[in-house]
Amino acid sequence: METFIEILKAVFIGIVQGITEWLPVSSTGHMIIANEFVKLNISAGCWDLFEVVTQLGSIIAVVILFFDKLNPWSKNKDQDMRKKTWSLWLKVIVAVLPAAVIGLILEDWLDAHFYNFIVVAIALIAYGALFIVIERINKNKKYKVEDVYDIDYPTALKIGCFQVLSLIPGTSRSGSTILGASTLGVSRTAAAEFSFFLAIPVMLGASALKVFKAFVIDNLTLSLTEWIVLLTGTAVAFLVSMIVIKFLMNFVRRHSFEPFGWYRIGLGIILVIYFIIKINIQ
């Protein structure tokens, strides 16, 4: 019975991860909230692993949905499109570098000083306001880049610099890259796709590093229940991500990101109120 309850919790948190990883609303902020109300009965080491490894499910969803677009050997592509695909991968690598370098240097410091509800709430509200402002500025604006293949190397690097902001909890990796791309004249559709593609090396690298650290350096051992919880959360995150990515791509073709801005502001305010009440009660 206890294992079944933990599986249900893992399903719920996997759903939260699968939804919020791709929408520009901060998966970290939502995971903090989810952990506040639905605590898995697992070790601290397993929870740290769970937070990162469930992202693998989300990444697999991106690879499957965009496999043809990302595959330079696709039979559906002529020589020119294959060159464009290789070029796209190189641009992704260029864009990943700033966050990868700074993340490796400052990850532990950022986790120690910024991983709290105050920072998350401020980031949710601040970036929510930015989404609203930028979308209103860009209203009826003709974008310079309409297709993800047409993003050039300087623009890719600049988008990568914006992604550095996502190292602050509550900012949102997809949110920071989409915001950055929008200010640089990239269409919503192309910005969202490029954000998805950036996540592949970023999250694969983070997951591999976390797994290596947990099992090789820290000698983490998991119980059968913890393994089941880990695999369940990952599988659910994958299935939900498949749905959410399709939804977001359809949404951005017809609508702006402004609703997500209002959602972030509302969630940030609720988060502040909740933790103020909690602190006063304690």
The per-residue pLDDT for 282 is 67
Q: pLDDT band for 172, please (50, 70, 90 cuts).
A: confident
The per-residue pLDDT for 235 is 95
Q: What is the pLDDT of residues 37-66, one digit of tens each?
A: 888 888 888 888 888 888 888 999 999 999
Please determine, for residue 207, whether its predicted confidence score (pLDDT) is greater than 70: yes
The per-residue pLDDT for 116 is 78
Q: pLDDT band for 229, please (50, 70, 90 cuts).
A: very high
**Tally of domains in the chain:** 1
Please, what is the angle between helix 173-183 and helix 153-163, to 10°? 140
Range of the domain at 233: 2-281
Q: What is the pLDDT of residues 82-118, one digit of tens each?
A: 999 999 999 999 999 998 888 878 777 877 777 778 8
> Residue 164 contacts by C-beta under 8 Å, 6 or more apart in sequence?
98, 99, 102, 103, 176
Other C-beta atoms closer than 10 Å to the C-beta of 201 total: 17
Secondary structure (DSSP) of 96-147 = HHHHHHHHHHHHHHHHHHH-SHHHHHHHHHHHHHHHHHHHHHSTTPPPSB-S
Task: Give 32 or 198, the one with higher predicted confidence.
Answer: 198
Predicted TM-score of the model (pTM): 0.87
